């Protein structure tokens, strides 16, 4: 009788949601978050990765801003978009006017489309050497002096395409003509207004 050998377990590499996990900077329950950086992987935009919406009192300064300065139409804006897994918690939220938040949402849409392309590339080329993703960094800046509550003047953000070698896990900038068709965005500012 021939010797029986156990079948090799078929293993599939886990396609990353995040190539590097989100890191948040200083924050407080009252004023919210000040910064966030992450390298988004090809699975970051899947519907199963949805984050959460903020409560009305997160961060707590939102109650005072809405009561004392309603004409600015304040919103607790996500530093890491909830569609990319960003939680509705104070470390990931900062006061934004609706105008600022809408402008930021346009930029976030560009990131989501690039991540969709990274996911499609991976599904069509599962044995490819690299995962593709987007390095994304955002921070608040300044002080918005037109309201009595502490509030940032706006946000500044950068994003660019990266690739991670599946074998070595080394993350490098993606080539200029990259598979994500994503143009580098460096230090773009959006002001609360």
Going by CATH, does the domain composed of 18-191 fall within 1.10.10? no
Residues sharing a CB contact under 8 Å with residue 18, sequence separation 6 or more, in sequence order: 38, 39, 40, 41, 44, 85
Enumerate the domain spans of the chain.
18-191
pLDDT tens, residue by residue, 71-85: 999 999 999 999 999
The pTM score is: 0.89
The arithmetic mean of pLDDT across residues 97-107, rounded, is 96
How many CA atoms within 13 Å lie on the side-chain side of 77? 29
The predicted pLDDT at position 57 comes to: 82
Residues sharing a CB contact under 8 Å with residue 41, sequence separation 6 or more, in sequence order: 15, 16, 17, 18, 19, 115, 118, 131, 133, 164
pLDDT tens, residue by residue, 118-176: 999 999 999 999 999 999 999 999 999 988 888 999 999 999 999 999 999 999 998 86
Residue 157's beta-bridge partner residues?
A: 138, 188
């Amino acid at each position: 009788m021939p010797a029986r050998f156990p079948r090799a377990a078929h293993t599939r590499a886990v396609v990353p949601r995040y190539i590097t996990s989100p890191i948040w900077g200083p924050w407080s329950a009252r004023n919210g978050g000040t910064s966030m950086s992450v390298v988004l992987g090809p699975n970051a935009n899947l519907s199963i990765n949805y984050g959460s919406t903020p409560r009305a009192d997160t961060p707590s300064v939102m109650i005072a801003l809405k009561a004392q300065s309603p004409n600015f139409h304040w919103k607790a804006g996500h530093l890491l978009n909830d569609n990319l897994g960003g939680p509705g918690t104070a470390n990931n939220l900062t006061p934004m006017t609706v105008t600022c938040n809408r402008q930021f949402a346009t930029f976030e849409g560009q990131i989501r489309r690039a991540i969709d392309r990274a996911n499609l590339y991976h599904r069509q080329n599962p044995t490819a050497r690299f995962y593709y993703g987007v390095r994304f960094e955002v921070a608040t800046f300044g002080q918005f002096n037109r309201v009595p509550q502490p509030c940032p003047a706006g946000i500044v953000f950068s994003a660019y395409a990266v690739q991670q070698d599946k074998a070595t896990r080394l993350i490098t900038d993606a080539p200029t003509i990259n598979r994500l068709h994503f143009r580098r965005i460096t230090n773009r500012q959006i002001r609360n207004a």
